[in-house]
Each structure stands twice: as C-alpha cells, then as structure tokens.
C-alpha cells in the first residue's frame, strides 16, 4: 500500500505557482447526470483523480460509451442504448458520489437498484433526505440485501419538497430525478454550493428548465429530453484552499491560477484574519505569509459559510498559530479525524463533541501517521511539511481520490516528498 515520506520543515516556505484542477465534486455529479442526456456530452477540465476514474468505470458498466482524454482533461460520454438499472457494489463501495446515479437513472427510467455507497468515513452521511424526496416524486423504495430498490410505477411526477437540512448530494439527486418528470417540481432549502450551480448550468445547456425562485428554492419544469452539449468543469475550490494552506503553515508564497475567488470568499477572509497577505484577481489567488499566525474561531456551514471540506486543512495551519483557536463542525459528526494524527506530531488539539480546541505550538515533529479519509490526508501532509524530521503517512490512496497529481504538485512548490510502496 502506498505511503508518503515527507521531510520537513520546508525551510524557506513553499514557493511557486500552481494551476487549479477541475473540481472533483463538480465532475462527479456532471458525469452521473450524463445518463439523462440523449446523444453525446463532452466535459472539459476534468481532474482524472481516482474517484473520476471509478465513475467512468461505473457509467461504462451501466451502458454509457465513455472516452477519456487525460492529457486534454476531457471526457466524452455517449448514450446509444438503454442503461442497466442495477448499480453494482463493486464500483460504488469506494465512492460516495456513486449514489448520484440514483437520481439520474430514476429521472431517465423511473427505476433503479443501487448498492449502498462508500467513500470517506465521516459519521452520519445517510441518504434519508434523498429517499424522502424521491417518495414525494411518486417513488416507492425498499432495502434488500444491501441494495436500495426504487421505482416510480406511473413515472416521476412533479411535487414540492423541502429539505429538512441542506444536503449537497440530496439537492443534486432530486434535481436529476426531476428534470424529465411530468409536471413541475419545487425544491426548497436546497444547497447553493458552486458545484450544485455548475450542475444546474450543465443541465440547462442540454435543455433542462431549472430556475431559482428564491435564494434556496428552485423550480424545475419537466422536459421530454436533454440534448448533448459541451461543458467546462469549474475550478476546485477545495484543492485551491488546501494549497494556500501550504503557504500559511510554512510562511511561504504561492499563486493559484484558474480558480474563481468568489467560491472561497469566506475562507479567504479567515486567512486574512490570521495574518496571511492575499492578492486576489479574477481567476487567481496569491498568498504571502511572513509573520506568526493569529488564532481564530471558525464555525463550518453550508455555502457561503466556511466549507467543512476546508476545515481539516485550516485546523492543521492553526497548530502553528500564536494562541488558542476553536473550530465548531456543524456538518459531519466525525470530521476531526486528523486531530489525533497531528497530535502525534506534537500538536495540541482537544476534542469535545463537535468542537476542536487548538493550542498553537512553536514546533511540530515528524511522526508516522495514518490517513482515514480524503481531507484528513491533506491535513496530515500540512502537519508534516511544518514538522522537523521525517513523517510517514500511510493509506495515502485517500488523497489520490480527490487531489490530482498530489505528490507532483507538492514537489513543484518545494516540498520534499516521496511516494513509496
């Protein structure tokens, strides 16, 4: 199993520039939604991370013709025949986004059987909201032998559904299930994450009729079909922020290109508050850190609040701040999995329910650690590049699920990192 060997600290701080990859969290729902289209869709700026490759294999298994052009960052998906309606466990067990094929298959065929999905272990990430929404759209479901079986015998019918709590994948699934429905669907308390907006733009390019009629309310008029189109995936705001944090924790200076700073407005305000100097342009962010970082209090939440996926990276950065910081996690029940690993390096992070208290330290020390999910991987990497000595990070396959060319990009900005088996 692959691991990283990282020698720290990065003495003069990270330096250089990086081009932001396409957003994994956008590419996956876009690929899943391709099931709804007649003809061919072309997706540009695709990050060929492991989850994207798994989704491509899943679509192929279901009957789509998937062509990949990694050097050009393009995926071409053509639908010429009816898809299979059973989503197999083998291909969905490592990737939570596979659950998005439910909405697409239901929207197109009014029926599907989907194995319970995998991905990161982050506490309660159930799909109850999805199923409640499907039920409102005239579906019935049951759980048998690890599979969720859903059917709309008389077709998907438009209705009104309000999410009890904002759900990104829930919003995406219900949108996909509704675009070809009979009648009009109103979805309330929807997610407005940039990746959801990107999905809506993609579907509208194919002919879907989706409109915002309130800040978090959308109206979907069902159409008879979606036509093939071309769409460019937005930049990955999580990747961009992760690499900005490499400069924050090492007193470095780097520039991230091909990212819309509006997607990171809240996070950038927090970086400024802790002492980072930022130059923000239309499609780039430059960070320069020269002074000791200040402590801060953070509360995560749905967009436009501080993104939960960015919290583990900032938690690592705050281990080097001058004083006590507090983080309150409101999205996932088990998001602090990086904390015990950072503590192995000499950090001081105490946990109590959904709160992490971080006491900044002058020094961290290299240690052997183990990653348990995608964002934890990068958090541990941040600790390692600031620590004295060699750190060994096990189970780094989690990182390659979401960060394209992870080790190569880290090397490019001056980090001493080796990938070994």
What residues are annotated to the active site?
Answer: 120
The DSSP call for residue 301 is -
DSSP assigned state of 310 = G
| Strands of 183-294, DSSP E | 184-188, 209-214, 217-221, 226-227, 230-232, 253-257, 277-281, 284-288
Instruction: Tell me the two tokens of residue 240.
Output: 């961009």
Q: Which long-range contacts (CB under 8 A, 24 or more apart) does 294-298 make?
A: 294/321, 294/322, 294/323, 295/321, 295/322, 295/323, 295/324, 295/325, 295/358, 295/360, 296/270, 296/321, 296/325, 297/325, 297/326, 297/327, 297/328, 298/270, 298/325, 298/326, 298/327, 298/328
Q: Which two tokens stand for residue 70?
A: 């990694």
**Token pair recorded at residue 300:** 């995560």
- Write the DSSP symbol of residue 306: B
Strand order in the sheet with 3-8: 368-370, 389-394, 3-8, 416-420
Neighbours of 274 (CB within 10 A): 22
């Amino acid at each position: 199993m692959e691991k990283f060997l990282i020698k720290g600290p990065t003495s003069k701080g990270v330096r250089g520039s990086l081009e932001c990859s396409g957003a994994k969290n956008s590419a996956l729902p876009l690929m899943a939604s391709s099931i709804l289209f007649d003809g061919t869709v072309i997706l540009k700026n695709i990050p060929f991370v492991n989850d994207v490759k798994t989704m491509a294999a899943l679509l192929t298994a279901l009957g789509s013709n998937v062509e990949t052009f990694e050097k050009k960052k393009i995926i071409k998906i053509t639908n010429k025949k009816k898809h299979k309606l059973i989503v197999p466990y083998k291909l969905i067990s490592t990737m939570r986004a596979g659950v998005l094929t439910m909405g697409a298959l239901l929207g197109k065929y009014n029926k599907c059987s989907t194995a319970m999905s995998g991905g990161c272990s982050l506490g309660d990430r159930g799909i109850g909201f999805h199923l409640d929404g499907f039920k409102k759209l005239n579906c019935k479901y049951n759980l048998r032998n690890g599979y969720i079986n859903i059917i709309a015998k008389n077709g998907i019918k438009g209705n009104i559904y309000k999410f009890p709590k904002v759900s990104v994948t829930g919003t995406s699934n219900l949108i996909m299930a509704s675009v070809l429905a009979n009648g009009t669907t109103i979805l309330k308390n929807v997610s407005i994450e940039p990746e959801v907006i990107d999905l809506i733009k993609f579907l509208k390019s194919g002919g879907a009729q989706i409109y915002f009629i309130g800040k978090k309310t959308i109206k979907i008029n069902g159409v008879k079909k979606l036509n093939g189109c071309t769409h460019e995936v937005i930049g990955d705001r999580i990747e961009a922020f992760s690499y900005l944090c490499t400069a924050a924790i090492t007193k470095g200076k780097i520039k991230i290109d091909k990212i819309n700073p509006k997607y990171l407005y809240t996070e950038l305000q927090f970086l400024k508050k802790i002492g980072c100097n930022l130059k923000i342009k239309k499609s780039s962010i430059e960070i320069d850190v020269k002074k000791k970082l200040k402590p801060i209090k953070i509360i995560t939440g749905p967009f436009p609040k501080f993104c939960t996926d960015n919290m583990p990276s900032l938690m690592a950065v705050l281990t080097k701040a001058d004083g006590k910081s507090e983080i309150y996690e409101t999205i996932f029940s088990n998001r602090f999995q990086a904390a015990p690993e950072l503590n192995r390096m000499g950090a001081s992070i105490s946990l109590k329910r959904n709160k992490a208290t971080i006491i900044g330290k002058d020094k961290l020390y290299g240690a052997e650690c183990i990653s348990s999910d995608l964002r934890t991987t990068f958090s541990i990497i941040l600790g390692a590049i600031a620590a004295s000595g060699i750190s060994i990070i096990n189970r780094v396959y989690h990182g390659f699920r979401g960060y394209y060319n992870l080790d190569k990009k880290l090397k490019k900005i001056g980090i001493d990192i080796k990938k070994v088996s």
